[in-house]
Amino acid sequence: MVIFWSCFAVYGICSAFTATYSTGMIKVIQVIQAVAILGIIYVVSSTAQFSVKNNFLRITLVLYVMYSIFILFHGYEYTYEFTKRLFFSSFIKYFFPLILLIPKNLKFYSRIFDVIIIYSVAFIFLNIIFADLVFVHYEKNINQKFAFEGFFKNLGITVAFLLFTYKYHSKNRILLALLVLLMIIGTSTFKARRAIMVLSTFHLLIFMVIFYLKSNYKLVMSGILALFIGVLAVYGPKFYKENKYTYFGELNERGTEDTRTGVEIAMARDFEPVDWVIGRGINGKYWCPNIDLNDTSGYRVMIETDYLNIILKGGVIYLGLILIMAIPAAFKAFFFSNNLLSKAAGIWIVLWILSLYPLNVFNTDLNHMLLWVCVGIGFSKDLRNMSDETIKESFSG
């Protein structure tokens, strides 16, 4: 599995680079990504065992894969440009659940955290290298709109999963992950990327709650938290008012601006009943002019509300297939487990589902792959019954 996760790490870092619009490097990046994708496909095809212990999961997984194949052929454009775009960005994500067929041990899960650490280091370096794109507001630089979001989506978001499972990791890893999460919160606040800011703040709060519940210093932590809340309550409003035209300027300007309703209404108007049921296929579009920059057709192939994005491609059938696997897994992982890894998996599944409204999380990235890893944990009774000591010992080894 070293090859699998190495290829996945390479693909994610390359995807983050594409968010900078460094077009001079795009051919080199695509060659590297192609090798990584082929490596992932090779490992899955050579190690997958077509047997799932849970009958419900086995039947649902077969239906999911069959329906994914239907989506790919429904609306497929037999052109070189479309095939190329599909290969590098969308194709592989429809088959992420096949990871459920790969035999897993604790070393498999430990590799995920190695990838998250690699991503954390890459996230910091890319934000420094491309600071001119990251820390400039949208009105001044069009490309910057996507740079930070690309870094967050491809590299930064999964750092919270490492924090949720802090008991298994060294202090250095925890400090690195915490630094990345604080960078995400700070940058997203400055850039007024509200969904990222809220989700990352929620990640931090969940980590604090988990750490508090597992800590032996609850009284000390309660005092520190009370002091922090008191300082924030007294000086926070003053700092915000004095800096609303600098650090908080963009956030203050956008406020509660609604950027979702318009595109949601446009999609609803353009959809027929059959579209809601089965979607419009891999290249599904809807009529929504005057939204995207440099738009000439008036049609959009994506929507910012991701549960509608899934419906756009595969209808409520596809969304339903995802949820009927994910929700029971989250329930089992959180309520019927003896270790922090399983409970964190349950939390992550719920967060991914909730993120379907404010963010695009159905992507070819580690966050989406981690969803299916967590689903596998939820349906694995053996893993759920392991002790924290057993898992930590294996991770350390």
User: Average pLDDT of each block of 10 consecutive residues along the chain (397 residues)?
Assistant: 91 89 77 93 89 88 95 89 87 93 91 96 93 70 70 94 95 95 90 86 90 73 69 58 52 58 89 95 89 75 91 96 97 95 97 92 95 96 94 86
1 exposure class (CB count in 10 Å sphere: 0-12, 13-18, 19+): middle
Per-residue pLDDT, 162: 96
| Region of 358 on the Ramachandran plot (φ > 0 left; ψ -120 to 50 alpha; else beta) | alpha
Q: How many CB atoms lie within 10 A of CB 302?
A: 16
Per-residue pLDDT, 213: 83
Q: What is the DSSP string of 50-105?
A: S--S-HHHHHHHHHHHHHHHHHHHTT---SHHHHHHIIIIIGGGGGGGGGGGS---
Per-residue pLDDT, 52: 81
Per-residue pLDDT, 78: 87
Question: Do the Cβ atoms of 178 and 163 come closer than 8 Å?
Answer: yes
Provide the CB-side half-sphere exposure for 234 (13 A, CA).
Answer: 6
Q: Which tokens belong to 112?
A: 């995920």
d(CA 181, CA 164): 12
d(CA 307, CA 294): 26
d(CA 347, CA 292): 34
- Sign, Cα dihedral of 205, 181, 91, 35: negative
| DSSP symbol at 357 | T
Per-residue pLDDT, 179: 95
- Compute φ and ψ for 176, nearest 5 degrees: -65, -45
Provide the CB-side half-sphere exposure for 88 (13 A, CA).
Answer: 18
- Compute φ and ψ for 278, nearest 5 degrees: -115, -5
| DSSP symbol at 169 | S
